[in-house]
Amino acid sequence: MLSAFRQTARQVSGDPILRNVTQRPQHFPGLVRAFAAALPVPGQERRAVDPVEPVFLTLSSLQGKNTRDKAVALDPTVFNHPIRHDILHLCAVHHLDSLRQGSANTKTRAEVRGSGRKIRPQKGTGRARLGDGQSPMLRGGGVAFGPKPRDFSTKLNRKVIEMGMRVALSVKLKEQRLGVVPRIKWYCHKTITLKNRLETLGWRTGTLFVSGLPQVDAAIQRAGRNLRGLEFRHADEVNVYDLVKWRRVILDLPAVALLESKLGGNMSNDQDFLQLLILSK
């Protein structure tokens, strides 16, 4: 078993950590046991890995076409991610911190206008000793430890943000507040026609439309710009805070394809899995 372990580890990479593992396997008992468990049992065929089944969602339509018999297959790694409320909180705080202007500014005693002359003598008046008129204790003086322009933005790893997008999309799908349409388009620029159609679908307020096309349809933007509670975005402009904030999210098929290409991840093969096990030691 150790010979098979050494041979497989050499095929994975020439990393010095791997050489250390292959030369001294007795120092890594947990890794050797994990490798032994992954080996096929003699006399039995290796069981194929079960493919991950997609998530199916009934297709909707803005144009009023009958799409009840049509469904779209969604990537489960993007739309069926385990729910992590802590990740959503981190992403929301990260986005809100980036929106803060940080322009609050107060003047210190060195910046307040006025003379530096001592107000009254140090001794002999029976009153408290005072210096110049810019003292923070006096009215019209400077501010002690007041706010100054600063940057409130915080750092968050890219992979955490991507996980937040997966979690947010999965939450919307689980709460049945995610819809998919073939295209986000409208046939005219009249607001009343779009309003009536959205009321029929139940998408009148609190709905975010996300399009994956290079440009969002101009007719539907013009028809919906006077309707309160609607917004149209491109898929590249949507963040985790938007998905959490809006009550309902409607995607078109290009947006689904774009999000799956950016957020979807395929599981690695056995050699990559072994490499991750070795490097984790």
pLDDT digits (tens, 9 = 90+) for 92-132: 999 999 999 999 999 999 999 999 999 999 999 999 999 99
How high is the pLDDT of residue 281? 35
Q: Give per-residue pLDDT as tens, 141-167.
A: 999 999 999 999 999 999 999 999 999
Tokens representing residue 98 in the block: 């980036």
CATH assignment, 55-100+155-263 = 3.40.1370.10
How high is the pLDDT of residue 40? 55
Mean pLDDT of 66-83: 88
How high is the pLDDT of residue 206? 93
φ/ψ (deg, to 5) at 57? -135, 135
Cα–Cα distance, 224 to 193 (Å, whole number): 10
How high is the pLDDT of residue 148? 96
Type of residue numbered 67 = T
pLDDT band for 272, please (50, 70, 90 cuts): very low
- What are the extents of the domains in the chain? 2-44+267-280, 55-100+155-263, 104-151
Whether residue 248 contacts residue 218, with contact meaning beta carbons closer than 8 Å, is answered with no
Type of residue numbered 225 = R
How high is the pLDDT of residue 160? 96
User: What mean pLDDT is reported for the chain?
Assistant: 82
H, E, C per residue of the chain? CHHHHHHHHHHHCCCHHHHHHHHCHHHCHHHHHHHHHHCCCCCCCCCCCCCCCCEEEECCCCCCCCCCCCEEEECHHHHCCCCCHHHHHHHHHHHHHHHCCCCCCCCCCCCCCCCCCCCCCCCCCCCCCCCCCCCCCCCCCCCCCCCCCCCCCCCCCHHHHHHHHHHHHHHHHHCCCEEEECCCCCCCCCHHHHHHHHHHHCCCCCEEEEECCCCCCHHHHHHHCCCCCEEEEEHHHCCHHHHHHCCEEEEEHHHHHHHHHHHCCCCCCHHHHHHHHHHHC
Q: Give per-residue pLDDT as tens, 10-56.
A: 554 454 444 554 555 555 555 555 555 555 555 555 444 445 788 99
